[in-house]
């Protein structure tokens, strides 16, 4: 089957040539000194991207591994947790918390809205104290971004550990682990870093390590264990891995981080912001509606578009892929048939890729008989792109 010409999805997303070349570089032994050097260098860059002076852990397995490891590591039976739910992923995370025995209180908003920091403050005051507050920074399934920078300090001020799913936000929007007092964060390299989809990039604060050490339920001697990395890799002087790292994935993440930091974190965020604004303008130009109720909390990584009634999303995506060679994403979970997502992460946030996404969606809908204004969509997209990054 023919490969896609454009991958403008919710991730995995298309990677730069540099990342691909790194993925395709010779496989070497994990204890080769050249690999050890590269691994350490990757950790150093990851911490820089996270703006943390704390520890980072690079687990081998997509971000769900890191999230499960984080939840299992921190949650002890009976622990009181505040889970902030504005989308599918946060809802699932709540299921995990409950399964691991936590007593969970939730702040919930509809999946097309963001969490209000005031509501969090209320919950902390009213229902606290909590040992843990959990949030999804950027809800990829619905393109909603929560104000983590306002919420995390609240949690911290109330003495709770702050656990943040930053899978699709790292590199694409503001994020400051230390300044915001985030204790445990998990990112994926296959989103705004535009790297390979096989790792969990975790930041862990000293407080989070203490909590895990004190938690008898935290996994130990398990592929799910963050503590194994602490005990064997970090405390052991960074000479022995608890598990064989994926040499190729680390090579890919190394290149992705190097590219990010050489361009500059701020420049990358500005580029994602430009692409997101252009895409939203294009979608509105087509005559469609955004899924998020307000642009103020639309995500930097993907733009979720509310589908007109009667559109079969899978058929639409199949048509766009077949006729135009453009791969877009549909909804996820319970939103599967309600929206289409246009990704703008990494290289897909550059150049005229937002125009390609908007036009493929618009013309695809037109082909299926939906009335959209393809020209106005394109014009609006290009007008924003013409202005450049803010």
CA atoms of 301 and 373, how far apart (whole Å): 24
Classify the phi-psi angles of 61: left when phi > 0, otherwise alpha if psi is within -120 to 50, otherwise beta.
left
Nearer to a copy of itself, 123 or 201 (CB): 201
Nearer to a copy of itself, 75 or 247 (CB): 247
Query: Is residue 253 within a helix (H) or strand (E), and if so which, with residue range?
Result: helix 247-263
Give least dist CB 196 to a copy of itself, A. 4
Among 125, 244, 266, 334, binds a copy of itself (CB under 8 A): 244
* 40 touching a copy of itself, by CB under 8 A: no
Q: Are 137 and 177 in contact (CB under 8 A)?
A: no
Following DSSP, what letter does each residue of 27-45 receive, concatenated?
P--TTSHHHHHHHHHHHHH
Q: Are 72 and 199 in contact (CB under 8 A)?
A: no
* 265 touching a copy of itself, by CB under 8 A: no
Give least dist CB 59 to a copy of itself, A. 8
* 25 touching a copy of itself, by CB under 8 A: yes
In the block, which residue shows the tokens 């150049």?
351
* 44 touching a copy of itself, by CB under 8 A: no
Residues 307-326 that bind a copy of itself (CB under 8 A): 318, 321, 323-326
Residues 46-65 that bind a copy of itself (CB under 8 A): 60-62, 64-65
- Residue span 332-361 as binding mask against a copy of itself, x where in contact by CB under 8 A, dash where not: ---------------x--xxxx-xx--xx-
Residues 114-173 that bind a copy of itself (CB under 8 A): none
Among 327, 335, 342, 345, binds a copy of itself (CB under 8 A): 327
Give least dist CB 217 to a copy of itself, A. 14
Alpha-carbon distance values, 97 to 151, 264, 278 (Å): 19, 36, 38
Query: Is residue 306 within a helix (H) or strand (E), and if so which, with residue range?
Result: strand 302-306
Phi, psi of 363 (to 5 degrees): -70, -35
Q: Which of 79, 364, 75, 31 lies closest to 217, judged by CA?
A: 75
Give least dist CB 385 to a copy of itself, A. 7
CA atoms of 187 and 163, how far apart (whole Å): 12
- Residue span 76-95 as binding mask against a copy of itself, x where in contact by CB under 8 A, dash where not: -------------------x
Among 249, 272, 278, 279, binds a copy of itself (CB under 8 A): 249
Give least dist CB 320 to a copy of itself, A. 10
Give least dist CB 12 to a copy of itself, A. 5
| Number of residues lying near a copy of itself (CB under 8 A) | 89
Give least dist CB 178 to a copy of itself, A. 28
Following DSSP, what letter does each residue of 328-351 receive, concatenated?
-EE--GGGTTTEEEEE--GGGGST
């Amino acid at each position: 089957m023919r490969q896609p010409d454009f991958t403008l999805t919710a991730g995995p997303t298309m990677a730069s040539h540099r990342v691909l070349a790194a993925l395709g570089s010779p496989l070497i032994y994990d204890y080769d000194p050249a690999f050890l050097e590269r691994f350490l260098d990757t950790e150093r860059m990851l911490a820089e991207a996270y703006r943390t002076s704390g520890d980072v852990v690079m687990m081998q397995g997509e971000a769900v591994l890191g999230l499960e490891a984080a939840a299992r590591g921190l949650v002890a039976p009976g622990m009181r947790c505040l889970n902030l739910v504005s989308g599918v992923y946060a809802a699932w995370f709540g299921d995990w918390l409950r399964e691991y025995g936590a007593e969970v209180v939730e702040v919930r908003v509809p999946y097309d809205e963001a969490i209000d920091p005031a509501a969090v403050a209320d919950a902390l005051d009213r229902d606290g104290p909590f040992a843990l507050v959990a949030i999804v920074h950027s809800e990829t399934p619905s393109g909603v971004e929560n104000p983590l920078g306002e919420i995390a300090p609240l949690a911290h001020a109330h003495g709770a550990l702050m656990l943040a799913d930053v899978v699709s936000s790292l590199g694409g929007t503001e994020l400051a682990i230390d300044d915001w007092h985030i204790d445990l964060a998990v990112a994926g390299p296959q989103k705004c870093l535009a790297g390979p989809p096989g790792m969990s990039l975790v930041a862990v604060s000293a407080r989070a390590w203490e909590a895990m050490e004190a938690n008898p339920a935290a996994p130990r001697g398990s592929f799910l264990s963050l503590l194994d990395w602490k005990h064997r890799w970090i405390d052991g002087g960074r000479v022995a891995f608890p598990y064989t790292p994926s040499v190729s994935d680390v090579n890919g993440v190394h290149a992705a981080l190097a590219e990010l930091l050489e361009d500059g974190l701020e420049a990358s965020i500005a580029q994602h912001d430009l692409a997101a604004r252009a895409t939203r303008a294009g979608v509105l130009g087509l005559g469609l509606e955004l899924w998020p109720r307000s642009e103020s909390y639309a995500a930097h990584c993907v733009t979720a578009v509310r589908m007109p009634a009667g559109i079969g999303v899978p058929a639409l995506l199949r048509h766009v892929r077949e006729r135009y060679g453009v791969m877009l994403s549909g909804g996820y979970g319970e939103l599967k048939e309600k929206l289409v997502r246009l990704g703008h992460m990494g290289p897909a946030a550059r150049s005229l890729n937002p125009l390609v996404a908007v036009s493929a969606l618009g013309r695809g809908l037109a082909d299926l008989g939906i009335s959209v204004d393809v020209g106005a969509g394109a014009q609006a997209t290009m007008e924003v792109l013409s202005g450049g990054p803010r």
